[in-house]
Chains A and B, each alone.
Chain A
Amino acid sequence: MVDQVAQVAQMIVHGEAWTLKDLFVLPNEYVYWSIQIVMYPYMTGLVAGAFVLSSLYHVFGVEKLKAIARFALVFSFALLPVAMMPLMLHLMQPLRGINVLMTPHFTSAISAFGIVFLAYAVIVAAEIWFVYRKFIVESVQRLSAKAGRNAYESLLLLIYKLISLGAMDDSKEAYAADHKAVKLLAAIGIPVACFLHGYAGFIFGSVKANALWMTPLMPVIFICSAVVSGIALCIVSYYVFMEMRKWAAKRGKNFFLPDGIAHGSAAVNYDQLKSVQDHEVKMTSKYLLIFMTLALTLEILDMIFRGYTAVKSWDILRDVLFEHDFVKIFVLQYGIGNILPFLMLLLPGVTVRRAVLASAMVLFGVFMMRWNVVIGGQAFSLTFSGFMEYHLPIIPHNIETFKEGLGGALLVFGTPFVIFYFLNMIFPAFYTDDEGH
């Protein structure tokens, strides 16, 4: 009985651990959608953005982006399973997540997630398969011919044989058909990627009870910022991976060049890597600039429109935007995350380091944008007479504060890099061939 009383006295409801209420807030109101729902559009945005970047080359034939396009495609695939992780970590009943596929209730914006997500996954997987088919065929031939394979190579051979799906045709016509298929898939992929992410925007934009979220611009804003963040992440990761490769190439550290195993040789030319890196990063940052202008314009338009029309909710929104969240929105998101990198990319004589630094700031800016939308949307009460502050749980004291705290967020952010490391062993993302896709 005493135990029961103690348990009741300490009963903390979901959301209470990280919500601080001020003034008049309804009894059931908490920050129910916390860090994982910030991570969800952030990660989906990265997936969509990376894919759009790779499509710039595959569909529109922007030759200059050739090397980074292949990397972006493989990286997008590595990010893909992670887009689902934050949702699973957020659900109160994660084991019932599959219900969304079993009884999708189509009036709900979330219900089609599984279908859209799977459709997109199939397109990306198929595109990678066609891009790498030549490489797969060559690898099978190379590894089969090799006498005295070690265990690693035998495993690779088995994997390549499996994923070749028996399509071993290495005629010129067959490769030409691959080219066509890649172009088609990338072309279909762009609208699907935009849909995948615009749809994440719709999930928020259609919540009529939330004064900050409800705007038809939300999906468009989400798509633009998705492309921005995806390109920025590709620049940063491409730079980091290239630096690692350069470092490893000098010293012959093969475990940092896992694709060397797939290549059949670990020999990587340092000077060649450097020139490729310089060229790709500078080129890509120009595209980043274009999409940034678009994203920024829409976000500012949304804010001006709200201020100008000044409906009932504007009083409380103004308090949130210009007082409570001022630093997060205008300093961190727009200042450090948008305007500063914008100027850095615009000023003449862009160096690789400056472009990468600017991209890292852009990544941070887009993260803050997601934060300010998701958390900012819950910063005020439905009564318009009170506020809620969100305190991110940093040191977890139970499973819930881990899942919906710093630990869970870092887990989500770190996983794609681990997946990429292993994926790179099978589909070498930095592999270049002259007539490849």
Chain B
Amino acid sequence: MKRRDFMKNTAMFVAGASVSLSALELIDPQEVLAANPELRWGFLVDTHKCVGCGLCVKACKIENDIPLEANVTRTWVERYVIKKDGEVVMDSPKGALNGYTSKLLDQNKSGMREVADKDIAQAFFVPKLCNHCETPVCVQVCPVGATYQTADGAVLVDRKWCIGCGYCIMGCPYGVRFFHPIEHVADKCTFCYHRISNGGNTACAQACPFGARKIGNLRDPNDPVAKTVMGQRVGVLRDEYGTKPQVFYIGLNKEVH
């Protein structure tokens, strides 16, 4: 074969091969889905409806195998007491696992604190969980790619690959991550991915007696959560970090972040 022919044939082969390879690229279903997602999980919290019973925390811990007595939790409820003089007193003992049954506010080392009824301007509860951010810091900082984002927006942890460095825990502006006391890897709320992917509800939303928590598909215009997020005035937590959180709150105060 002449050198000229060899070059010609090589160029033809490379050109031909790249065309067929790019065809394989085109029909990758994951990429198609990512470009036109029909599903994006989002969460709606109506703080007006929350009474601080803590059933969501219990349900979550039982559903997701987080030991009840371990002082870490995938979801928790915070209590805010805003005094007439502007002072804000907050607590969340054991993440409100046992519900708020006392007026005493747990200030950890500073002990219990009681605020007299006459001094209180307003008081309310705020449930918290992973925000499954659009641009999650935890995914960015994971050195081994053990934390990842699914095509439908959930942020998950690969327990078999996590090295337990804690960078994601430090990176999360919402404090939703912790080390699982038994698995010894990073852990966090998954939106009950194992349930919602099979048509179920999240454990916390199902356990909530007042409908303060709802999971939904933000891409579906007929979805109740999507309708509320679009049609009502909702807020998100700490948007100054640029994480684009996907848990939306009705009735968010400036004291809450």
Q: How big is chain A's contact interface, by range? A: 35 or more
Q: Find out whether the CB atom of A33 lies under 8 angstroms from the CB atom of B170.
A: yes
Q: Is A81 part of the binding interface, using a Cβ–Cβ cutoff of 8 Å? A: no
Residues of A within 8 A of B141 (CB): 107-110, 206-207
Q: Tell me what chain A mostly uses at the interface: helix, strand, loop, or mixed.
A: loop
| Closest chain A residue to B182, Cβ basis | A11
- Given A11-B67, A209-B171, does the pair A99, B181 have CB atoms closer than 8 Å? no
Q: Shortest beta-carbon distance, A386 to chain B, in Å? A: 7
Is B142's CB under 8 angstroms from A105's CB? yes
Contact A13 B70 (CB under 8 A): yes
Q: Which residues of A contact B178 (CB under 8 A)?
A: 13-14, 28, 30
Q: Cα distance A97–B144 when bound, in Å?
A: 9
CB of B163 within 8 A of CB of A24, answer no
CA distance A209 to B164 in the complex (A): 19
Interface membership of A382, Cβ < 8 A: yes
Asked if residues A27 and B76 are in contact (CB atoms below 8 Å), the reply is yes
Q: How large is the interface on B (under 10, 10 to 19, 20 to 34, 35 or more residues)?
A: 35 or more
Most-contacted residue by chain B among A9, A20, A102, A111 (CB, 10 A): A111
- 10 closest A-B pairs by CB: A92-B164, A110-B143, A105-B145, A209-B173, A26-B175, A27-B95, A22-B109, A14-B179, A28-B178, A21-B108
B73 within 8 Å of A (CB atoms): yes
Q: Which of B26-34, B84-92, B215-223 contacts the other chain? A: B84-92
Known: A23-B107, A27-B76, A99-B144. A108 touches B175 (CB 8 A): no
- The distance in angstroms between the C-alpha atoms of A22 and B109, with both chains bound, is 5
Q: Is the CB of A105 within 8 A of B143?
A: yes
Q: Are B169 and A383 in contact (CB under 8 A)?
A: no
From known contacts A11-B67, A28-B177, A99-B163, infer whether A385 and B90 are also in contact, taking CB-CB under 8 Å.
yes
Output the nearest chain A residue to B164 by Cβ-Cβ distance. A92
B162 touches A24 (CB 8 A): no
Closest residue of chain B to A9 (Cβ to Cβ) is B69
How does the 8 Å CB contact mask read for B1-43 relative to A, with 1 for contact and 0 for none? 0000000000000000000000000000000000000000000
Residues on A with C-beta less than 8 A from B128 are 26
Supply 29 A–B pairs (Cβ within 8 Å), ascending by A. Answer: A9-B69, A13-B72, A14-B184, A21-B108, A23-B108, A23-B110, A24-B89, A27-B92, A28-B175, A32-B166, A32-B170, A33-B166, A90-B166, A92-B162, A92-B163, A92-B166, A92-B185, A93-B162, A93-B185, A96-B161, A99-B144, A102-B144, A107-B139, A108-B167, A110-B165, A207-B170, A208-B171, A209-B171, A385-B90
Beta-carbon nearest neighbor of B88 in chain A? A385
* 5 new A-B contacts at CB < 8 Å, known A104-B143, A208-B241: A23-B109, A92-B185, A100-B144, A110-B141, A110-B167
Instruction: Contact check, B165 vs A90: say whether CB atoms are below 8 A apart.
Output: yes
CB atoms of A104 and B173 under 8 A apart: no
Taking a contact as CB atoms under 8 Å apart, the answer to whether A11 and B175 are in contact is no
Q: Does B172 contact A (CB under 8 A)?
A: yes
The verdict on A103 contacting chain B, using a C-beta distance below 8 Å, is: yes
Task: Tell me how far the C-beta of A319 lies from the nearest C-beta in chain B, rounded to whole angstroms.
Answer: 14
Q: Is the CB of B170 within 8 A of A210?
A: yes
B122 contacts across to A, CB distance below 8 A = none
Distance of A50 from chain B, by nearest CB (Å): 26
Q: List residues of chain B with CB within 8 A of the CB of A12.
A: 181
Q: Compute the total of residue contacts between A and B using a CB distance below 8 Å.
A: 155
Return B159 CB to nearest CB of chain A, in Å. Answer: 10
Closest chain B residue, CB of each to CB of A312: B240
For residue B40, give the distance in angstroms from its CB to the closest CB of chain A.
Answer: 21
Complex: A43 Cα to B141 Cα, angstroms = 22
A105 touches B70 (CB 8 A): no
Contacts of A92 in B (CB 8 A): 162-166, 179, 184-185
B68 interface residue, CB < 8 Å from A? Answer: yes
The reply on A113 being an interface residue by CB < 8 A is yes
Cα(A47)–Cα(B138), bound, Å = 30
Least CB distance, B173 to chain A, in whole angstroms: 4
In the complex, whether B118 has a CB less than 8 A from a CB of chain A is no
Residues of B within 8 A of A260 (CB): none
Given A21-B109, A28-B176, A207-B171, are A107 and B70 neighbors across the interface (CB < 8 Å)?
A: no
Within 8 A of A (CB), among B111-146: 128, 137, 139-146
Chain A residue at smallest Cβ distance from B170: A207
**Nearest CB of chain A from residue B199's CB, rounded to whole Å:** 30
Nearest CB in chain B: distance from A380 CB, A: 12
Query: Is A29 an interface residue, CB under 8 A from the partner?
Result: yes
Complex Cα spacing A404 to B95, Å: 26
Select from chain B the residue with minimum beta-carbon distance to A107.
B140
A25 contacts partner chain B, Cβ-Cβ < 8 Å: yes
Residue pair A14, B143 in contact (C-beta under 8 Å): no
| Structural contact, B90 and A24, CB atoms closer than 8 A | yes
Roughly how many angstroms separate A104 CA and B146 CA in the complex, as a whole number? 10
Partner of B181 from the list A13, A93, A105 (CB cut-off 8 Å) is A13
8 Å CB contacts to B: which residues of A68-120? 87, 90-93, 96-97, 99-100, 102-105, 107-111, 113
Q: Tell me whether B174 is interfacial, beta carbon within 8 Å.
A: yes
Q: Which residues of B contact A113 (CB under 8 A)?
A: 143
**B150 at the binding interface (Cβ < 8 Å):** no
**Residue B83, interface by CB 8 Å:** no
Q: CA–CA, A15 to B179, complex, Å?
A: 9
Q: Per-position contact with B for A1-22: 1 when CB-CB < 8 Å, else 0?
A: 0000000110111111000111
Which single member of B68, B90, B94, B163 contacts A383 (CB below 8 Å)? B90
Query: Hey, which chain A residues are within 8 Å of B177, CB to CB?
Result: 28
CB pair B143–A382 under 8 Å, yes or no, is no
Is B163 in contact with A28, judged by CB distance below 8 angstroms?
Answer: no
Q: How far is the CB of A347 from chain B (nearest CB, A)?
A: 42
Docked complex Cα distance between A217 and B164 (Å): 28
